Each structure stands twice: as C-alpha cells, then as structure tokens.
Structure 1
Amino acid sequence: MIGSLPTEMEETEEISTSTTEWRMVSDPKQAGWFFSQELLHSNRDSNSLFLRVDIRQDKEEQDRALVTFYNRDNVQWTSPLQCKLQGDVATGSGVDRHMMSTVIFKLISGFHINLGSAAIVKIFEGEPDHLIPSVSDELLDNNMFTVAGRMIGHSFLHHGPSFPGLSPAITHILFGGSLETTPVTVQDCPDLDIRDTMKMLDGDAELKEFDSIHQLCLSWDLPAPNATNRKWLSEKLLLHAVIGQTRRQIYQFRKGLKETGLWPLLIQRRDIIPILFPRESEAQVTPQMLLDCIIWPSSITVTFESYEVKDEDESDAIDVSRVSGYLKTFIDNASPAELKSLVKFWIGWEVPATEMKVEIVEATFPTAATCFEKLRLPRHHTAYKTFHQDLCTCISTSYSGFGCA
C-alpha cells in the first residue's frame, strides 16, 4: 500500500519529476507516488472537489453522502480534494486521510444504504482473498461498481489505503487477461450450493440431484450432465459463476478506475496492481510493522494553547517509561483489527506512516493530532488494565469521527 513515503515529498509544492520518472523508477510504490503526484499537480488549478460527511447523522445518511459523491458523472477526479467532517472540530490533512480510510472501510464492510431488502449493501462478496463483484442487478442498475472503481482509484491518488482481498481471477479479467487463462478456483465462488454442485460433478458417484443440476446447466446455456462431460461441466459452471455472471460488473468497475486517471499507470506498470489490490494478509498491520514506525518520547510534554514545552524533570522519566511500556504491550498483544483502529485513530487511516510520534502528557484520555501523526497518552496511568480500557475506548471512535482527537 502507498503511504510510507517521506513526509517532505508529500509537502512539496512544485513537482519536478518528469513524465517518465514513474516509468523508470524500480520501486513500484515510488512509481505510484510519482504518478499520482504528477497527475494531481497537473490539475492543481481545477475546481476543488468537496467531500462532506455529517457525523451527527445516522449511518445511512453518512454512507449515502459518500455514495452520492462518487456516483456523479463528468467529474475530474484528479482535482484538488477538500474533505470536511461536519460535527467534528478536526481539520486539515488528517480529515482527508480519515475520509479515504472510511471509503475503503465501507467498500470492505458494506454500506448502510437502502438498495433492496439488505440492511447492509456489499459491493463485493466472498471469502478473504477471493472477493468477487456481487451479482446483484440492483447494484448494477445503480452504477455501484463504477462507484467502487472511483473510490479505490481516488484513494490511491491521495496515497490512502488500498482495497485488499480481491480474487486473482477478477484482477486477471479486469486488466485484460483472457478467459482461457483465468486462475479461477472453487474458493472464488461465494455460492455454497453451486460449490456443492461442482463437487458432485467432479466426483465419480451417481448424481442424486440430477434434475436440479440439469436445470442449473440449462439456465446457464450448458448441456445436461452425463458420464463423459461431468468434469468439464464442473469447470464451466465454476467459470460462469465467477466470471460469466460478473462481466458487466467488471466492466463498470474498470470504467470507474479509468475515470480516476490511473489506467496508464496500471497498464504500463503491472507491478503496481498488487499494491492497488493486495492480498488481505499483506494489508494487515503487524505489531512489528507499527513498532518500527514509532518515534518514542524522552520526556513529558506539557501542552499549552499555542505552544509546547518539554518538562526536563528527571523524575518524569519514570512516567514516560511506564506509559510507553504500556503502549508497547498493547501493540504486541493487539488483534489486527485493534492495530488498524489504533493507527486510524493516530494518523487518520490504517496505513502506518514513516514516523508516528508518541507524547506523554498531562491529560485525562488519549488523544491524537492526526495532521501531525502524533498520539498523546496521559501520564497518570499506573496500571496496564486501566490504560488498556481507556485506549480501547478512544480508538473505537475512529470510524465515526476523531473522537477525542
């Protein structure tokens, strides 16, 4: 995922890279960064895009605001982006990071919008690392796969989280691979009944549900099963279930990605594709990954309204050491979901930054200055149990706003 490049690169006002630099650099992450910066810089004078979400509204209204923003046509998605969390005092780049993270989180977990009977609408379905587009006609009619492509491309442009877990078979077709060489597996089929049918056809036992299997084959323009074609038929059913039923969805998805301007990069630098669509295991934040990014404090920081003063009292070193140790213990023992929530609370999204600062301060609860990638922890904790409780309470607010930040 993109997000670990030097901060000074992100703050550069004038981009000096040539139009070929992203083609020449060997590191795909750097290539993606150069391409995105060049594209955003070339459209810096365009009218800004304003993405606003009111966190005082219910989940359905918030999710609808995101979908409505990305469901507009004739939009220059490389224009400057300004994000606003209405009902939250947070401002600056931390809000932009939070919004991009929320967009990808919603693509993974589902949107609370009223499309059909489902309480939560998932654009992709299936098991981890084998996600495929939903076969819902309602999602197609509402252009939701174009929306998904725009969301993923837009997050990439702004160095946000990638979309993990997409089936290699879908990625293969999405970027022009042939049907004959599609790396489809039974795990790519989210319909368990179809999986059972394929398993029966692939075996040698007598078909006990011949009529239902025959009807399924007829509905997909395939011949009736017999002793000589059953294994071939099993393969065709799998290919149709995964690719045949989702061709229009993939077309929409590709269209959305293209509209964000990423297509030249993705076609000419195929090594970028695994960054855009990583395996779910690769997208997880590990304890060591996070610990390697942390800049630990050496003293207590006393924060005033407009400036900070380092307290040099040597006795405070005990508090710094103790509370820092609590954080290390939390990170070492946290689940992947807790680590992502911590990073999101800390800097605004789940992608660890190169330098993530910790301060030990006079405060009641943990807070975060997301724009400065800084986590502030209270010095008063003398037991890990209460530290753990307070930190968990605070980081649980990261998906509804900035909470105490």
Structure 2
Amino acid sequence: MIRSVTTKMEEGEEMSTITTGEWRTVSDAKQAGWLFLQDLLHSSRDSKPLFLCVDIRQDKAEQDQALVSFYKSDNVNWTAPLLCKLEGDAARGSGVDRHMMSSVIFKLMSGFHLNLGNVAINKIFEGEPDHLIPSVLDELLDNDMFTVAGRMIGHSFLYRGPSFPGLSPAIIHILFGGSLETTPVTVQDCPDLDIRDIVKMVVEQTRRQINQFQKGLKETGIWELLIHRRDVIPILFPRESEAQITPQMILDRIIWPSSITVFFENYEDEDGDEDEDSYDAIDVCRVCGYLKTFIENVSPAELKRLIKFWTGWEVPATEMRVKIHEATFPTALTCFETLRLPKHYTEYKQFHQDLRVCTSIGCCSFGCV
C-alpha cells in the first residue's frame, strides 16, 4: 500500500514568516539561501509534521501517484518538519529523506507515469537542454500539475535537495515578473520544429502553466528569498552544464580510510601485528585506488548515480566517507554518507563492473542501500 499524508494548516494558521534579516545583506548567495532556510524551517519546527510514504514494492505508476498525491494537497504548511518512509525497505533517517527529494526532482525531469491525455509518461517540462518549457498538454494544466511542480522544486530547495536544472531563461524571466516584450528567447525554446518561427507565441502559450508554477513555488515559502535575492535564482534553476558533477568535486569531499595513512607511514602497532595490518592497508589502498580511477573516468551521468547511491541524492555532501571491509558487493549507509567497498577486489575490471551494477540498481530501488 502506498500512503502520502500531508498535514493541512489549522484554521487561522498562517505560513510562518522570517524572523531575522541577515540573509538580505550577506554577500554570498548560497549563504543567503542557507540563512533564509534556517530561519524559515526553525519558525515551523513545532508545526505538525508532513508524512511522505512510498511503497517501493509497488509498480512505478503507483509510486508516482503517491508522490503526486502528496504534493497535490492544498492548504499545507510545506515548511513543517518532513518525515519520509519507504515501505518495503528497512532504511530510516536522513538518507531516506534525501532519496525522496532526489526522486521528486528526477521524476520532474524524466516524467511521471500518470497516463494523462493518453500519454503513458507525462513530462511536465519538455524541450532541449537549458531550454525546457512547460508542457502545453491541457490535462496537465487541468490537474494542477504545474502547481505540483512548483511545490516539489520549492520543497526540495527547503531541504537543500537537488535543484531543477535546464529551465529556459525565457520561462525564468516571465516567472519572476519579466514582460513578454523583453523575454530573452531563442529558437531552442520551441521544442516543436514547426513553430520555431513564432518563438514568443510559444512562451505566451505557457502563461497559465507559469502562473500555476509560480503559485506552487510561493506556497513553499521561498518566494520572498527569490524576489529579494535574485542572485539565488540561478542556484534554484541552474544551467544544466552548471549542475554537472565533476570528478574533482567528488574527490575533494572524500574522507579516505585512515589505513591509507597507516600504510604510507609504515605503521606498526603495539601488539606487533605489523604483517596483518600491512596487508589490510595494502587492500585498502588498492580498492581506494580503484574507486579514484572509477570517479576520474566514468561519465557525468554515472557520477550522479554514484553520488545518489552513496548519499541518497545527486548532491555531493561536504564530507563523504569510504570504508573498506569484508563483503561481497558495494553497499552504502546513506544516513552517514558512507560508501562501503569490499576489500577482495584485485582487478579493476571486476570492481568497475560491480560498482556500476550496484549504483544502477540504487537509482531505481533504495533496497540496495
């Protein structure tokens, strides 16, 4: 069974407001966003929590419906504490929350199994990379799916989850109050080749979708930040190229096992177990070397799958730990942002194959974690 429960605001209850204003004056946009969100979430810390529950044993259509039903609820305080649960999996804690936010943004980008308008997979946004525009499918508009999209993106931002990359600059311009006459449009903003000669008409066709989208964003409480700190908008809606994860971005955040240091310092413990410790250190160094090679050579898409498998979403954590131990296959403790790798690998080819399989499964099911 799939459950998604939102707690509606009590009669007379209003969305909590910001109590401090430091976010308005701090120079760094990321710091401004962090301060704003801290204040916003703190002001709702005593509100009734929101419960989001998805049964991963069910098919994709039912899982998608659970997510959509959760975000279609009206009169909800989206800044209230969030509790997520995956039925059919033993995982608990912040790793599950990160996985859920990642799944929400992934579905917004890839499409939901809703069968609206006799379309098996409904994409809320369509078009070329960095030129995504709202779909003009009437059934999406009639079902308030763009309000849902705004709530999803705003909610992910509230919990420092993945942003939504690739939205057309023209749509962002209109979304935040720009006029049609000054819209910075290009032919790439028109996914239909037959109407690329009437670019602005395409943008005008999505006016109602944009209004719904704006409504959803406002309901999550982040609109004040976006209006007063326009430098935060590119963080919420980055270019797709800017959202790419690079190998160095990951390597700079890894906390490697201490055995690596032990090995290079030729450490000998007090019990005289030098040989055993040295062999362990050699295993650790070899497998860590395989991981470094993997990170430096796979595609950006595979890097994102690795990060999601490792931490629960595609956003690299400040510190990501690696543990080498006795095991058969790679696993992860997402709540502790720890990647656990077996020490038995002696060939990179087998390591590469197993890690690719595990991260691919991890993108589709939390049960591998």
1:341 aligns to 2:302 (yes or no): no
Q: Give yes or no for contact 1:299–1:360 (8 Å, CA) kept in 2.
A: no
Distance in 2, matches of 1:26 and 1:393, equals 43
Q: Is the 8 A contact 2:284 2:324 kept in 1?
A: yes
Is contact 1:174-1:254 (8 Å) kept? yes
The residue number in structure 2 matching 1:20 is 21
CA contact (8 A) 1:149 1:255 kept: yes
Work out which structure has the larger RCO, using CA pairs closer than 8 Å and 6 or more positions apart in sequence: 1
1:69-148 alignment to 2 at 5 Å? Answer: 69-148=70-149
Q: 1:238 aligns with which of 193, 199, 202?
A: 199
The answer to whether the aligner puts 1:366 opposite 2:366 as a matched pair is: no
- Aligned partner of 1:269 in structure 2 is 229
CA–CA distance in 2 between the matches of 1:256 and 1:387?
44
**What is aligned with 1:167?**
168
**Structure 2 unaligned blocks of 5 or more:** 1-17, 261-273
Deviation at residue 164 of structure 1 after TM alignment: 0.1
Q: Is this contact kept in 2: 1:297–1:360, CA < 8 A?
A: yes
Tell me the equivalent position of 1:280.
240
Q: Deviations over 1:114-153 (max 9, x none)?
A: 2122111000000000000001111000000000000000
Show the counterpart of 1:318. 282
Contact 1:129–1:279 (Cα < 8 Å) also in 2: yes
**Aligned with 1:254 (options 207, 211, 214):** 214
Residue 66 of structure 2: aligned partner: 65
CA-to-aligned-CA distance 1:335-376 (integer Å, 9 cap, x gap): 111000000000000000111000111111111111111000
SS in 2 for 1:53: strand
Q: How does 1:289-304 map to 2 (within 5 A)?
A: 289-299=249-259
Change (3 A) 1:18 1:138: closer
Q: Give the distance between the partners of 1:397 and 1:41, measured in 2 at CA.
A: 36
**Alignment RMSD (CA, Å):** 1.3
List per-residue Cα deviations over 1:209-266 (Å, max 9, x = no partner): xxxxxxxxxxxxxxxxxxxxxxxxxxxx21011x110000000000000000011000
Q: Structure 1 residue 194: deviation in Å?
A: 1.3
* Seq. identity, %: 77
Structure 1 partner of 2:263:
none
Question: How far 1:404 sits from its partner (Å)?
Answer: 2.8
Higher Rg of the two aligned structures: 1
**Match for residue 291 of structure 2?**
327
SS at match of 2:241: helix
Correspondence for 2:269: none
Alpha-carbon distance in structure 2 between the residues aligned to 1:40 and 1:87: 29
TM-score of the two chains, using structure 1 as the length reference? 0.82
- Give the deviation of 1:296 after TM superposition: 1.0
Note the C-alpha offset of 1:18: 6.1
State whether residues 131 and 168 of structure 2, in contact with CA within 8 Å, keep that contact through their aligned partners in structure 1.
yes
Instruction: Give 1:398 deviation, angstroms.
Output: 2.2
Give me the whole-angstrom Cα distance separating, in 2, the residues matched to 1:21 and 1:372: 31
How far apart, CA to CA, are the structure 2 residues paired with 1:371 and 1:30?
24
Name the structure 2 match of 1:379: 343
| Equivalent residue pairs, number | 338
Structure 1: runs of 5 or more not aligned: 1-16, 199-236, 301-310
Partner-residue secondary structure (3-state), 1:50? strand
CA contact 1:125–1:190 (8 Å) conserved in 2: yes
